[in-house]
Each structure stands twice: as C-alpha cells, then as structure tokens.
Amino acid sequence: MANKWFETVAVAQRRAKKHLPASVYGAVIGGAEAGHTIKDNIAAFGELGFAPLTAGLPATREMATNVMGQDISLPVLISPTGVQAVHPDGEVAVARAAAARGTAMGLSSFASKPIEDVIAANPKLFFQMYWVGGRDEMQLRMERARKAGAVGIIVTLDWSFSFGRDWGSPRIPEKMTFQEMLRQAPSVAVRPAYLYQWLRNGVVPDLTVPNLPVGGAPAPTFFGAYGQWAGTTPPSWEDVAWLRSQWTGPFMVKGITRIDEAKRAIDAGATAISVSNHGGNNLDGTPATIRLLPDIATAVGDQVEVLLDGGVRRGGDVVKALALGAKAVLIGRAYLWGLGANGQAGVENVLDLMRSSIDACLLGLGRSSISELTPDDLVIPPGFSRRLGH
Ligand SMILES: Cc1cc2nc3c(=O)[nH]c(=O)nc-3n(C[C@H](O)[C@H](O)[C@H](O)COP(=O)(O)O)c2cc1C
C-alpha cells in the first residue's frame, strides 16, 4: 500500500484535490469576491523573515501552553469548520487526531457530527456558535453544549453573508438525495476512492447540521439553517455580553480585526479573542490577520488571551504569529487538507508537521521556549502591519 504520509500541507492539499469531488474541494477552498483577503492571509506570512542564530543554540525546546484553561502540547488548535462531506468520520476523526496530538478543538455549530460524539473523542472541546435565532435559542443551544461537556464557547461574529467568487462557487445541494447523487455522479465517479470511503460506511453525506436544532427538533439541512441565520437580526455588543453572562467557563470572541472591537470584547467579558477574517471567506478586502495582530496584541496586553487564525500552513507561520503577540493559533484549511488526504492520520500528520517545524524554528532562532519569542526574531518589512479601529 502507498505511504500516505505527506511532508508539507501543500502536498496534503494536492492529494485532497485528487481525492475529493470538485464540489467538496471547492467548498474548502472557499474565499470571497476577488480573493484579495484569502491571498493576503498567505502572502503576508511570506513577507516576514527570520533572524537566525548559529552557535549556542538550545538543546531542548518547549512549546506546550494553555489556552482557555486547557493544557495543550503545542500552540496550535483546531479552528471550527463545517467539514461536511470531506470525510465520513468528519469532526470525530479530527477530534481523535487532536486528542492524539494533545490539542484542543473548536466544533462548529454547522458541523456534521453531534457534539456528544465529538466530545467523546476529545474532551478538550470548545463549542462554536453563530448568532442564529435570538436569545432563547442561543441559550438552549449553549445548554446542550454545557450538558455535553464543552469546556468553552467560541462566538464567531464576523460573517457577512457575502457570496460569489470570481473563480466560481461549488455546487452544494440542499440535500443529498438520489437525484442529487445522479447529478453529481460525473464528478464523484472520477473519485472512486472517495465514493468507496462513503459506501464502506454505508452513508451518503447528508448535509444536515445536528448541533443547531433546539427542543428536540430534527436536524435542519445546511441551507435551511443558513436561511434562518441570514434572517436573524445580528447581535449587538449587549447581546454578546449577555451570551457571555450565560456561560461560566472560558469564552472566545472570534473574528476581531480592530483594536476598538478587541477592547469591546474584553468589556463584554471575553477570556480570549481570535484575530480572524474567517480565512478570507468573508468581507473581501479585510487585511491579512498577521498584519492586524501586532497592534491589537500591544493594545490589549494581557487583559485577554490573543489568538490568530488565517493563512497558517506551517510551523514557521505559527512562530511568526507568536513572535508578534499571539498566544497560539487556530488552523482551518491545513487540517481539512490533511483530513481529505488521509482521514484522522492526515490530521495527525498536519499537527506533527506543525510541531516539528515550530521546533526547527525555535532551534534556528536560539529560543528554548515559545514564551521567549519576540518581534526581534523576525525581519519585518516597513509598512507591514495595518492598524484598524484605534
Ligand atoms: C470550509 C470552511 C468552513 C468554515 N466554517 C466555519 C464555521 O462553521 N465556524 C467558524 O467560526 N469558522 C469557520 N471557518 C473559518 C475557520 O474557523 C478559520 O477562521 C479559517 O479557516 C482560518 O483560515 P485558514 O483556513 O487559512 O487556516 C471555516 C473555514 C473553512 C475553510
């Protein structure tokens, strides 16, 4: 049997592209409008360099940390994504991989597996919520997460329902019916290994969202839920503070790009923020998050844990984010490519690559711990950062 190990995330992406039907691959690529933000998220990491040392390097390096009360063995967490249809085991496979590698996971409220099943695979689980359906529904959803054993909440605030991409959007059906399978047959038939994976599990991707219904209602379809969300009045900061008051444990606000909003999240009682532009899937033209991080991190100091997500594809990116003030990062597409390329083992492969290249960077920079990283470890071109909302 072929060795499915891959040496970088880019290799995993190429394998996932070969394995997945075009519509599923396209859904993970995502992006919005002209793709300025999704490209900048990656390009900006490339603009930063390192300032390495040679002799006197540390024999051992430390990268364990603690985020939202959870001890994790590396400063990389799983960002919440709806991984509908990438793999039959979906978020359960991701949770097993994260647990095997000692890290925590965000579970999307648009995920394909029930929270109870995912927590059974990894108890270090934060439940991610969008504002769908008003306070009463939000409270009931949170109650379910609490009962299931979630150790934190992530509230994602940055979605603006933009749609349309210059390179075309993937076809996502309302429901995976027999007719829909026939319609998609040409693209699925050229991916026999993908098809076999699902058939072996005796299911077709059903594209429902089991963590969204309340009061015992059946799981709505992805688009049914999306429609309800689009019809919900967006939350105010008072709503966010109210939501926070309903949860006694750690609480993250994801989607912050401005200094003033980082401060509002602190005022609302957030334990953590993620400097995030939703991986470029949202308001196109938002700068890369790594450009926004330094000023936000400086402005908030240690009042809140600062995380970053967007464009992280290798350990070097993680080290750059930590040097500019992040406590840890969240990864999205990187693990989805691993999942698409090789299931649970592929996600473990991605986390192993992150760990080994963080370690290599620490060695090259002469740092014995991630806590020693500073901007002096980097080559930062003039005009690199962007300061919003001060
Ligand atoms: C396919 C896909 C689905 C996503 N779904 C969600 C979601 O349900 N909730 C959420 O908070 N973020 C979601 N995100 C955003 C990620 O959590 C994260 O912010 C983003 O992927 C980071 O960028 P990266 O993919 O470049 O690492 C999604 C991203 C992708 C690519």
Whole-angstrom distance, CA of residue 325 vs CA of residue 304: 12
User: From the CA of 18, how far away is ligand 1's center (Å)?
Assistant: 22
Q: In 203-240, which positions are buried (b, 16+ CB within 10 angstroms) versus exposed (e)? A: ebbbbbbbbbbeeeeebbbbebbbeebeeeeebeeebb
Task: Report helix, strand or coil for 54.
Answer: coil
Cβ count within 10 A of residue 94 = 31
- The residues assigned a catalytic role are 278
Residue nearest to atom 10 of ligand 1 (CA): 80
Q: How far is CA 145 from CA 149, 241, 245, 251, 285, in A?
A: 6, 18, 15, 13, 34
Q: What is the pLDDT of residue 10?
A: 98
Q: What is the pLDDT of residue 196?
A: 79
User: From the CA of 81, how far away is ligand 1's center (Å)?
Assistant: 5
Task: Report the Cα 386 to chain-centroid distance in Å.
Answer: 22
Q: Residue 162: what residue type?
A: S
User: From the CA of 266, how far away is ligand 1's center (Å)?
Assistant: 23
Whole-angstrom distance, CA of residue 263 vs CA of residue 240: 13
Whole-angstrom distance, CA of residue 82 vs CA of residue 282: 15
Q: What is the pLDDT of residue 170?
A: 83
Hey, which residues does 65 pair with through a beta bridge? 72
Q: Is the CB–ligand 1 distance for residue 277 below 6 Å? A: no
Q: What is the pLDDT of residue 294?
A: 98
DSSP string, 346-389: HHHHHHHHHHHHHHHHHHHHT-SBGGG--GGGEE--TT------
Residues in Cβ contact with 156 at an 8 Å cutoff, skipping those fewer than 6 apart = 80, 128, 129, 130, 254, 255, 276, 278
Count Cα atoms within 13 angstroms, Cβ side, for 265: 31
Q: Are 330 and 307 in contact (CB under 8 A)?
A: yes
Ligand 1 pocket: which of 20, 281, 337, 339 to mutate (most atoms <8 Å of CB)?
Answer: 281
- Ligand 1 nearest atom to the CA of residue 274, by list position: 19
Hey, which residues does 306 pair with through a beta bridge? 273
Residue nearest to atom 15 of ligand 1 (CA): 278
Residue-wise pLDDT tens for the chain (390 aa)? 678 999 999 999 999 999 999 989 999 999 999 999 999 999 999 999 999 999 999 999 999 999 999 999 999 999 999 877 899 999 999 999 999 999 999 999 999 999 999 999 999 999 999 999 999 999 999 999 999 999 999 999 999 998 889 999 887 766 655 566 556 666 676 788 888 787 777 767 778 899 999 888 999 988 889 999 999 999 999 999 999 999 999 999 999 999 999 999 999 999 999 999 999 999 999 999 999 999 999 999 999 999 999 999 999 999 999 999 999 999 999 999 999 999 999 999 999 999 999 999 999 999 999 999 999 999 999 999 999 998
Q: Are 327 and 377 in contact (CB under 8 A)?
A: no
Indicate the length of the chain as a whole number: 390
User: From the CA of 333, how far away is ligand 1's center (Å)?
Assistant: 7
Q: What is the pLDDT of residue 176?
A: 59
Task: Report the Cα 293 to chain-centroid distance in Å.
Answer: 17
Hey, which residues does 155 pair with through a beta bridge? 129, 253
Locus of tokens 């076999």: 196
Q: Is the CB–ligand 1 distance for residue 332 below 6 Å? A: yes
Ligand 1 pocket: which of 23, 81, 128, 226 to mutate (most atoms <8 Å of CB)?
Answer: 81
Q: What is the pLDDT of residues 195-231, one digit of tens each?
A: 878 777 776 777 889 999 988 899 998 888 999 999 9
- Ligand 1 nearest atom to the CA of residue 310, by list position: 23
Q: Is the CB–ligand 1 distance for residue 128 below 6 Å? A: yes
